[in-house]
Chain A
Amino acid sequence: MTLFRSTALAVVGLIVFLGLWEAAPRFELVNPAFLPPPSTIPAAFLKEIRSGAWLVAVIESLSHYLVGLAVGAGAGIGLGLVSGMFRWFENLTAWIVRLLRPIPGLAWVPFAILWFGVEPRAAIFIIAIGVFWIVFFATQGAVRGVDRDLVEVAQAFGFRSAWSRLTKILLPAATPGMLVGLRTALGQAWMAVVAAEIFGVPGIGQRMMQASSLLSTDIVVVYMLTMAALYGLCDSAFVALQGWLLRWRP
């Protein structure tokens, strides 16, 4: 009953929101060119799909997203593990981390364009940097937080090398913490996708910029909703994967 009530309330809220959105441009409270009413979106969406631009943009963006995510998360996990396992490595890198960490991913755009040109690789680089730090710190903290008692179990059974400590205990024990970081990174990477493409790398971001310069705000909204849907899809898939990986937890 409460589930029904909360669902009903959510639906009501959404309808009111769409109603207000529809009303504002219809009654000329705002200029319809600046805010397209939601009723015009399905037609714009169909047009964009028919022209083939939608699919191309989505595939471009998704490929930047996935590759950037993989590169950033891979590097973050790798270095995070080493830094969490070896105090000397953490000390060695302490000031480098302190220097580079506060630089926002977007501040790398000038270098990304210089190094890679206005190419997919530049977008991937920017996305990867944003992802890297989140995953790096999550992994380092998760490894640091592993119950020493479990490490002792491995030692007592003769697993004494750093490699076996990593594979038998640290990696599985740190997985929950690493996944929390990865999920945050999943969202962060989406933001970076748009930002990176707005500079001209083909994809959703670039398509939005084109549309906005032609005042086709309905197309801009189409891509905004597309991004929300794609992110929702990725996040749901990730949560499912997380649930499976952590099925051992109560």
Chain B
Amino acid sequence: MSTDVSAPIIDIRGLSLAYERDGRRNVILQALDLAIPRGQFLVIVGESGVGKSTLLRVLIDLAKPSGGTVTLNTDPKSRTPMALVFQDARLLPWRRVLSNVAFGLERIGMPKRERCERAQAMLSLVGLGDLGQRWPHQLSGGQRQRVALARALAVEPEVLLMDEPFSALDSFTREGLQDEVQRIQQKTCKTVLFVTHDIDEAVYLADRVVVLAGAPGRIAADVSIDLPRPRQRRDATLVEAARTLRAELSRRSADL
């Protein structure tokens, strides 16, 4: 069975997630429908606690949904259809940088030499080709996040999940990494599911922005950003899109 290229690579139907704590039922996500076309750069924005991160955790199987289905239309031969970049880089401190990048490859039985070569290539791709022999604690916050990105890219996922990956960085570093992600996504044509609470970041990066709002989280807006890349940060269309989304978000929170 070959994969249907026109079908959404991820099809989420009626997804719910709730848990019980101290006899109270907390609903994080309820009846969420979301179809993500192959190759799309989808950014999910929303305030803290609307379940953005939870959605990614469900997709990578770190959290169990309590209802609904997730259909993956990825290559059945691929052993790592998805990879996640965490908000904090979460490098393994006892491994050198290169070995951190190669981490995910150890599971798929790739010979060591090949793992090192692939890791080195990914490290070069994120601009840190010379730092492979460093320890994670010797890197800056921005460099650590680049290594985390390289580690995720190394397993050649079809879908790259990114959970507020730049929120802990200073704005200068953040903009540099946004450009980097944009460049890499264009080069590799990967599907990217990027979660953020920064609307400017969302409109700058996205082909499509989905706004999650409310408790439990629901899709409050779904906006396409048709603008050629590379983009200008001060582009009038982006500024306008950001303004509309802000208005939408504040209207939604006023409704609650």
B-binding residues in A (CB < 8 A): 149-150, 152-153, 155-159, 164, 168-169, 172-173, 175, 247-250
- A151 and B106 CA atoms in complex are apart in Å by 16
- Cross-interface CB contact of B93 among A155, A159, A248, cutoff 8 Å: A248
- A250 and B134 CA atoms in complex are apart in Å by 12
Chain B residue at minimal CB-CB distance from A164: B107
- A-B residue pairs, 7 tightest by C-beta: A157-B104, A250-B137, A172-B94, A248-B94, A156-B84, A153-B90, A248-B135
- Cross-interface CB contact of B94 among A152, A158, A173, cutoff 8 Å: A173
| Chain A CB within 8 A of B86 CB | yes
Interface residues of B in 82-106 (CB under 8 A from A): 83-84, 86, 88, 90, 92-96, 103-104, 106
Query: Chain B: how many interface residues by the 8 Å CB criterion?
Result: 23
B residues within 8 A CB of A247?
135
- A171 and B118 CA atoms in complex are apart in Å by 26
Main secondary structure of the interface of A (DSSP, over half): helix
Chain B residue at minimal CB-CB distance from A176: B94
- Cross-interface CB contact of B137 among A153, A156, A175, A249, cutoff 8 Å: A249
Complex A-B: 27 CB contacts under 8 Å: A149-B86, A149-B88, A149-B90, A153-B90, A153-B103, A155-B61, A155-B62, A156-B60, A156-B83, A157-B80, A157-B104, A158-B79, A158-B80, A158-B104, A158-B107, A159-B107, A164-B107, A169-B92, A172-B94, A172-B95, A175-B94, A248-B93, A248-B95, A248-B96, A248-B136, A249-B93, A249-B137
User: Are B94 and A157 within 8 A (Cβ)?
Assistant: no
Chain A residue at minimal CB-CB distance from B107: A158
CB distance from B227 to the nearest CB of A (A): 32
User: Are A153 and B86 within 8 A (Cβ)?
Assistant: yes
CB distance from A180 to the nearest CB of B (A): 16
| Chain A CB within 8 A of B155 CB | yes
B residues within 8 A CB of A172?
92, 94-95
A-binding residues in B (CB < 8 A): 60-62, 79-80, 83-84, 86, 88, 90, 92-96, 103-104, 106-107, 135-137, 155
Chain A residue at minimal CB-CB distance from B93: A248
CB distance from A166 to the nearest CB of B (A): 14
- A175 and B94 CA atoms in complex are apart in Å by 10
User: Are B62 and A157 within 8 A (Cβ)?
Assistant: no
B residues within 8 A CB of A248?
93-96, 135-137
CB distance from A37 to the nearest CB of B (A): 52
- Cross-interface CB contact of B103 among A155, A157, A173, cutoff 8 Å: A157
- A75 and B11 CA atoms in complex are apart in Å by 50
CB distance from A167 to the nearest CB of B (A): 10
B residues within 8 A CB of A156?
60, 62, 83-84, 86
- Cross-interface CB contact of B92 among A150, A164, A175, A249, cutoff 8 Å: A150
B residues within 8 A CB of A249?
93, 137
CB distance from B112 to the nearest CB of A (A): 15
Chain B residue at minimal CB-CB distance from A153: B90
- A152 and B90 CA atoms in complex are apart in Å by 9
B residues within 8 A CB of A155?
61-62
- A153 and B86 CA atoms in complex are apart in Å by 8
- A25 and B107 CA atoms in complex are apart in Å by 70
CB distance from B144 to the nearest CB of A (A): 13
A residues within 8 A CB of B79?
158
CB distance from A142 to the nearest CB of B (A): 13
Q: Tell which of A169, A247, A248, A250 has the most Cβ of chain B within 10 Å.
A: A248
B residues within 8 A CB of A250?
135, 137
Known: A153-B92, A168-B103. 4 other contacts (CB 8 A): A152-B62, A155-B62, A158-B107, A250-B135
B residues within 8 A CB of A153?
86, 90, 92, 103
